[in-house]
Amino acid sequence: MMDFSGHRIAVWNCSIALPFLLLSAAASGADAPPKTCTLQEIVSLDMQTLQTGEFAVPVMLNDLPAQLLVDTGSEYTAITDETAEELGAREKWTPYGGSFLNNVAINEYAYLDSFRIGPLHSSSRWQVVVIPNEILPYTISGLLAYDMMRNYDIEYDFFHGKFNVFMHSECPGSAVYWTHDAFAAIPIDLDRSKHITVEASLDGKPVSVIFDTGSPSSIMSLDAARRLFGWPDADPRLKSLGTEEINGGTSTPLYAFPFATLSFAGVSVSNPQIRLIPQDHFDAGRNHDANIVLGMSVLRQLRIYVAYDEKVVYLTGAEAR
């Protein structure tokens, strides 16, 4: 109905770090299963894929069904203003919020009385950030973020449309169960906003990459790219794509460059479509140093298993079997 191609990567100020409670794996209250080398899947959820490639999963907010867009670019699970109103969740203001890409400020939070994902549920009230309605389609209630996902291992199987949640694996290297073919196992660094950051190679140059399932497309700082590749000011390969009001913020110029290959320790993506925007819109605070925010236009070409405890991301091609 509308173009909601947001880039839902957020940078949070430290002081918002109010306590978030772990989800309990046992809805019945039973103890968590013992840790073993066999992957223990807790729940496999159907992805509701959006028209620009991101996806949402079914959850229960205050015992009401809802869809949350899965966003590795956000530290805190969020609900929209509209959802907060629907749930009667009282919004509170904080001076220590954060911002989404393109400097869209977030300064409100609220509490959910209950939060369920399949058999998982919060053991107490769950604090969520309140975000503008404009960031999401009308029928999506918010964002599922790091604060929940970090408690588990998460697999993104875009080809089959499945969002799989596992208990943390105790056995390094055991995550890739879906293929005997080669895979990449890359250490991840969680930056100060808890973004999954990995090292990669873009056209032979080392880059840091943030995995952002909340962004339909991939974004890089134009200034950082110029420094990295030494492009002249009037490089004819750099094409203007006009302007866009990313996340409903101010209008920002966009550029494209014909990159050839993005490589992750042996797993490569050809012709990655990465849009370039000025540094001031990419990260006004300059408080993270990732060169590329990798969105769904590239991530959908991969099958991804994030082992949060092990701090490794496992990658294969999306269709590997």
Partner 1 sequence: MAKSLLSACVLLLAFATGARADGYRDFNAGAAASARSDRTAAIKLLSVALGDADLPAHLLVPAYLARGNNYLEQGQYDSAIADFTAAIRARPDRADTWLDRCAGYAAKGMFPEAVADCSSAIQLQPQNWQIHNFRNSVYIQMGKYDDAIADYTPFIAARPKDADLLLGRSDLFQRKGDFDKAIADADAAGDISPRWASPYDRMGKIYFTKGDFPKALDNFDSAIDRWRDGADGYVVKGQTLWAMGRFDDAASSFKDSLERSNLQLFAFIWLAMSQSRQNAKVPEDIAARFAKANLSVWPGPLVQLFLGKVTPDSLLELKGKDSDTGEDMQCTVDFFVGEWQQMQGNVTEARRLLQASASVCSVNFATHQLATVDLARLH
| Contact set with partner 1 (CB under 8 A) | 1-3, 5, 46-53, 82, 85-86, 133, 137-139, 159-161, 216-217, 241, 244, 273, 275, 295-297, 300-301, 318-319, 321
Of the candidates 247, 302, 238, 319, the one whose C-alpha atom is nearest the C-alpha of residue 276 is 238
What's the closest the beta carbon of residue 35 comes to partner 1, in angstroms? 32
What's the closest the beta carbon of residue 278 comes to partner 1, in angstroms? 17
193-214 burial, b at 16+ Cβ within 10 Å, e below that, comes to bbbbbbebebeeeebbbbbbbb
Q: Beta 126-131 vs 78-80: how paired, if at all?
A: parallel
Of the pair 23, 277, the CB lying nearest partner 1 is at 277
Of the pair 2, 30, the CB lying nearest partner 1 is at 2
For residue 321, what are the CA distances in angstroms to 161, 178, 297, 306? 15, 6, 21, 18
Of the candidates 73, 131, 97, the one whose C-alpha atom is nearest the C-alpha of residue 15 is 97
What does the alpha-carbon distance between residue 212 and residue 221 come to, in Å, rounded to a whole number? Answer: 15
What's the closest the beta carbon of residue 319 comes to partner 1, in angstroms? 5
Of the candidates 142, 298, 300, the one whose C-alpha atom is nearest the C-alpha of residue 220 is 298
Of the pair 86, 280, the CB lying nearest partner 1 is at 86
For residue 315, what are the CA distances in angstroms to 49, 181, 233, 295? 20, 11, 36, 15
Of the candidates 242, 250, 253, the one whose C-alpha atom is nearest the C-alpha of residue 277 is 253
What's the closest the beta carbon of residue 219 comes to partner 1, in angstroms? 11
Of the pair 126, 163, the CB lying nearest partner 1 is at 163
The residues facing 54 across adjacent strands are: none
Q: Beta 153-157 vs 55-61: how paired, if at all?
A: unpaired
Residues 6 or more apart from 129 whose CB is under 8 A from it?
A: 16, 74, 76, 77, 78, 79, 97, 98, 106, 108, 109
What's the closest the beta carbon of residue 152 comes to partner 1, in angstroms? 22
What's the closest the beta carbon of residue 257 comes to partner 1, in angstroms? 13
Of the pair 1, 30, the CB lying nearest partner 1 is at 1
What's the closest the beta carbon of residue 47 comes to partner 1, in angstroms? 7
CB of 136 closer than 8 Å to CB of 150: no
Of the pair 167, 254, the CB lying nearest partner 1 is at 254
Nearest-5° Cα angle at 102, 206 to 264: 20
Of the pair 148, 254, the CB lying nearest partner 1 is at 254
Of the pair 89, 207, the CB lying nearest partner 1 is at 89
What's the closest the beta carbon of residue 77 comes to partner 1, in angstroms? 19
